[in-house]
Amino acid sequence: MEEWEILSTDSKLEKLCALHTDLTDAEVQLLKHVASSLQMHADLTDSYMFIDCQIKDSEYAIVVAEAFPKSNDSVYENSVVGKIVFDTFEPGVFYSFRKGKKSQIRHAVTQEGHTVEQNVVPIKNAMQQVIGVLIQEKKVDVPVVYQDERQPPLFGQESIEYVLGDKNDEMPAISNLLMEIFLLTDDEDKLIYANPVGVKFITEMSRTEEIRNMNIIDLLPFLKTVYDQPEDVFVFDLTVDRKNLIVKKVRLRKKDRLTGTLLIIQDITELRTKEKELKMKSVVIQEIHHRVKNNLQTVASLVRLQMRKGVSEESKSYFEDTLNRISSIASVYELILAKENADDDDVNLIELTEKICSTMVLNELHKKVNLIIRPNGNKILTSSRKAVSIALIVNELVQNSIKHAFPADMAGEISVIFYSTQDFLELHISDNGVGIKKPKSSLGLEIVHNLVVNDLNGEFRYLPEDRGTHAVITFPVSPEVSIFYEKEDIDSGG
């Protein structure tokens, strides 16, 4: 090793070329010629100069000559002559080798981990073949806030990388784009950095322009609780001057010694105001639902009162029909109001059907009729508007089966089944009763027909059956009617 170190620059170059390359004598002479002026270039441009040659039969290059500028702090502490150079670290070098062209990289990170500006030019022989490359590397000043006192950037204009001493300053100043307030204080809680919104925030809150290096608690006394908190990482919810703030505190430590505190503050006042407005709106909607439900109950009471005052046996059934219709609409509002989260007014169709049918069956206790509701794994949500129509339809059809299909004490079964495809929902209401003998349309079926066609944009028909009746309602899925498939389940209801 020692023997190597006392060799002259020229001899080192010759030896390395003989050992690692296929270069001819003339080519080595050419490289020596270039190397002879290397020191001069280094001193003149205050940069590091190298000559690299490609190692024969390999992807790598080797440093064959170097010159360091005569200055104080150096990027390279030791000689790198004889060192192998890898593509991933020095893409510029290999670019020049392959393309025979000049390469310039503004912020190259060298194999030694330094950030440099790198210029590479190919060295060519008489036949214009690349025999080596000449490299110039200039140290890039990575600004560090505590050292670079000569020209400190404007307060609030520094990037967070600058402040935190991150060497990769190719990054855009992210902190300038953020809506969040970024503040950095030193170990004595003095403000050493604020991003632009941070500067604006502090000057507004403290009513002073003099904020740099001031104690943060003096500037923003409400942060005292934040700083007093012993935890290193903590999130606070603060309300100051009618502002809602989320303050995140991160203590920065180096080997257990506190070096500073990073604060990230989000002003969520606007968000909170919007939240309140939304809550107000949903309160109003809730109130309207309540009133609708109460009004329907009042109407139902009036009808019941009228019935009790004495009506003929014949008109009694008409009053009952009306009561059922009113209560099926009321079911929709009861379901909406019973929901935990009453913000939306979506109604679960299966629940609605169960509710309507159960009240109906209760009213017809004397009948030996079994009622089956089969969702087929569908969970169907509809708007309250559509739900009212569907409630009325289910009411009419199930009511018909109860009223007409099973005369006297005849036993039987009524089923309500939901089928769905990608785009359509099918509602089948069938019974195994006597069946419709002579079809005569009265108010009930007219209501069903009108609601299906006009309100659900659907289709209503009876399927021919040997026994009983089988009504089918088909209507499209829409923003107001959505279906979620749940796992196939067993029959529910009954």
Ligand X SMILES: Nc1ncnc2c1ncn2[C@@H]1O[C@H](COP(=O)(O)OP(=O)(O)OP(=O)(O)O)[C@@H](O)[C@H]1O
Binding interface with ligand X (CB under 6 A): 321, 396, 400-401, 403-405, 431, 433-436, 440-445, 469
Pick the closer one to ligand X by CB: 300 or 335.
300
Helix (H) or strand (E) run with residue 280 in it = helix 269-308
Q: Return the one option of Mg ion, ligand X, none that residue 137 interacts with (CB less than 5 to 8 A, by type).
A: none
Give the distance from CA 134 to its chain's centroid.
49
Pick the closer one to ligand X by CB: 446 or 486.
446
Pick the closer one to ligand X by CB: 445 or 481.
445
- Which stretch in 32-40, 74-82, 254-262, 441-449 sits in contact with Mg ion by CB under 5 A? 441-449
* Shortest reach from residue 400's CB to Mg ion, in Å: 4
Pick the closer one to Mg ion by CB: 181 or 360.
360
* Shortest reach from residue 444's CB to Mg ion, in Å: 3
Which of 132, 184, 134 is CA-nearest to residue 159?
184
Q: Return the one option of Mg ion, ligand X, none that residue 469 interacts with (CB less than 5 to 8 A, by type).
A: ligand X
**Residue from the set 444, 451, 460, 471 that interacts with Mg ion by CB under 5 A:** 444
* Shortest reach from residue 475's CB to ligand X, in Å: 20
Contact 63, 80 (CB under 8 A): yes
Beta-bridged to residue 49, according to DSSP, are 67, 136
**φ, ψ (nearest 5 deg) of residue 446:** -65, -40
Pick the closer one to Mg ion by CB: 284 or 410.
410
Pick the closer one to Mg ion by CB: 155 or 319.
319
Helix/strand/coil (H, E, C) string of 310-379?
CCCHHHHHHHHHHHHHHHHHHHHHHHHHHCCCCCCCCEEHHHHHHHHHHHHHHHCCCCCEEEEEECCCEE
- Which stretch in 212-220, 336-344, 396-404, 415-423 sits in contact with Mg ion by CB under 5 A? 396-404
* Shortest reach from residue 397's CB to Mg ion, in Å: 8
Contact 90, 110 (CB under 8 A): yes
* Shortest reach from residue 399's CB to ligand X, in Å: 7
Q: Which residue reads 């209507």 in tokens?
A: 475
* Shortest reach from residue 355's CB to ligand X, in Å: 20
Q: Which residue reads 């991150």 in tokens?
A: 166
Tell me how long the chain is: 494
**φ, ψ (nearest 5 deg) of residue 253:** -130, 145
Contact 233, 249 (CB under 8 A): yes
Query: Contact letters (x/-) for Mg ion, 397-426, by CB under 5 A?
Result: ---x--------------------------
Q: Return the one option of ligand X, Mg ion, none that residue 350 interacts with (CB less than 5 to 8 A, by type).
A: none
**Spatial distance between the Cα atoms of 449 and 447, rounded to a whole number of angstroms:** 6
Contact 182, 202 (CB under 8 A): no
**Spatial distance between the Cα atoms of 217 and 234, rounded to a whole number of angstroms:** 17
* Residue whose Cβ sits closest to Mg ion: 444
* Shortest reach from residue 419's CB to ligand X, in Å: 20
Pick the closer one to Mg ion by CB: 412 or 444.
444
**Spatial distance between the Cα atoms of 373 and 388, rounded to a whole number of angstroms:** 19
Q: Return the one option of ligand X, Mg ion, none that residue 420 interacts with (CB less than 5 to 8 A, by type).
A: none
* Shortest reach from residue 344's CB to ligand X, in Å: 33
Q: Which amino acid is at 101?
A: K
Footprint of Mg ion (CB under 5 A): 400, 444
